[in-house]
Structure 1
Amino acid sequence: MKSTRRGFLATTTASALGWKAGQASAGERPHVSDPRATDGDERFEPSWDEQLTISVGQKSGDMIGNDDKVLQAAVDYIRRFGGGTVKVLPGTYWLRNAVTLPSRVRVVGSGADSIVTKIASTSVELVDDSDWYDQEITVSGNEFRVGDGVVLRAKNPHDGGDTVIKRTLVARSGNRFKLDKGLRENLWLSGKPTCASLFPLFTSEHASDVVIENITLDGNKVNNENFNGNYGGCVFLQDCNRFTFRGVTARNYNGDGISFQVCHDVVVEDCHSHDNADLGVHPGSGSQRPVIRNNRLERNNLGLFWCWGVKYGLAEGNRIHANRSYGISIGHADTDNVMRNNEITTSGKIGILFRDDARGHD
């Protein structure tokens, strides 16, 4: 067949395009090398030289205060602009409620000089039934304020199991308080319901792409009752993605230091979690691909606790010292994790506990 210049160019162009596409592995899309800010694209965007930054301080800064209200206002302000940085200047910040972190925010403290802590806990009984559809409770005493974070606990009146509900008090008349959300559980007096001022210091649900750096979180353990790590901690996350903790001190919580449940691609590095009543770092059930690197986990009840179904994680270069029971605990359906080059010393019971659980697939 007679060749033509047009045919030659078509063949050459097709070959070149095929070679260019071949730079990606077979069956894969090309690598994103030069992204643009595109409406609705939450995965890729340019690495900007500057984003919005505001400072919070007790005597100077863009926002002035020393409690949860000013910290919450700062991260919410950043959220309005699609992300940025909150700088927490030196001082002690006292919380009556958790600081809830939105997506795409970076919180940077001043190391040991920026301390976030909480008030002493108070627990009172409920004095009237609240049904599952209610959005209010009635308590004894007058210890609580509008805006307080609380946990409501009771025995389930139907099966005797534990009921645990985290809420915020948003309005009041006397000792009746409206809640930020409905109960969706029965709090009947037969189950001996209580209301306590217990909450995590930093928390988030269904958020992503958050960085916390160089800040001290103190749980005021001696003045607070225990709060289970499935609900609280110096840090408590639920259903989140791509959180990074770097240079964070999580200490003295009557519960866990850093706990995250069903959260993926969480990084905890160069942190110091110490003197917490329960777990130093708690990659919670179902969490995928956590990285726990170069931390000090000291004098907790347990240093690093891999919960159920934690997979494809990495724990390396950690110093795990003087934890009262175990240095590391791993078991039920925790598979495909790598633990290497960790130093585990002076554990009260066992350095590494491999939990033998017959339940589950793995």
Structure 2
Amino acid sequence: MKKYSILTLFILTFYSASFELYAQGCVAIRQFSGLGNAVGQGNILNKGEWNVSANYRYFKSFRHFRGTEEEHNRLTDHTEVINKQHGLDINISYAFSERLYGIVSLPLQYNERSSLYEHNRTDRHTSYSKGFGDMRIGAGYWLLSGEKAQKGNTAIGLGIKFPTGDYAATSTFYRGPESTPTEMTVDQSIQLGDGGTGLIVDFQGLWNIGSTNFWYYDGFYMFNPKETNGTLTNRSRPNEAIMSVPDQFALRTGVFHAFEKIHGLGASLGGRVEGIPVHDAFGGSEGFRRPGYIISVEPGVSYMLGNVTGTLNVPIALFRNRTQSVTDIENSTPDNEVHGDAAFADYLINFTVAVRIPKKVKEVFNSL
């Protein structure tokens, strides 16, 4: 296998799916909070070429954590909250040059949330949300070119998250002793957007560490200056009545190996951490949020055939922490510490298909 083909496989494998983030439960990390989808593509695409990818994700969250301690009784008592989330992102990237690239991400979501406490606390019911999420648009730039980039490269990027997703989605809830159907806003974890315009700063890179092995890394932070979005939470505490618009962050690194004897096949093993901070970097941090983070090991496999690459990654949770929020701290007293909980998933299924559109194909199409 030629070194160029290995690099192509690596880049399409990891940066077609890079930071297609997801909420692995009640800690509401929105999918595609970062812009890593375009990383690398600008480095292998010629000027004027495109890459189109579709990413599907699914997870089921049901394990409750308060801090780092799991509340096992929630499962035995059958009081756990169960979130099932499906996401499909359509991503389009374009190479302005061998170093400068742009990307647009259009997310779709379908979510289910099953609980007792949001209804009559006796019978389990399910609330739903579906539709467009928050769109992202951005650009990045590779720091090295030519011979300097033969062994590796790093890109930096900037992007904007637009509040295109419904951040006040409603569903039917069954309230009171008579289970009266009532239309209410759904929980923050399955809202389609957060209602804020965010600034995304990210970085990503890869380096050859011998033969067909590569070290990859990427990370981002999304600044959400808006404090609250006006959406009711239906919670009893006054300072938790309105939903917060939180920042988000993630970091990912690992090793990718391309199999020389099986052309197009690659495998990876890495780790990732992602979450929501207690306090935003800019703007206020009031309103209801579930801050926390999750650390996962991330095995993956990919296969490239021509200009089409398929990738399957399955992040598996190793450590989960629902940190104490601003409102938790405000509601605490010397005799009673308030520390909310959150439900997390054990794993996530993340599948991507990416299609590289060479410039010559576009020229043929334009000539018709």
TM-score bucket of the superposed structures, by smaller chain? under 0.3
Q: Which has the larger radius of gyration?
A: 1
TM-score, structure 1 normalization: 0.26
Higher share of residues assigned strand? 2
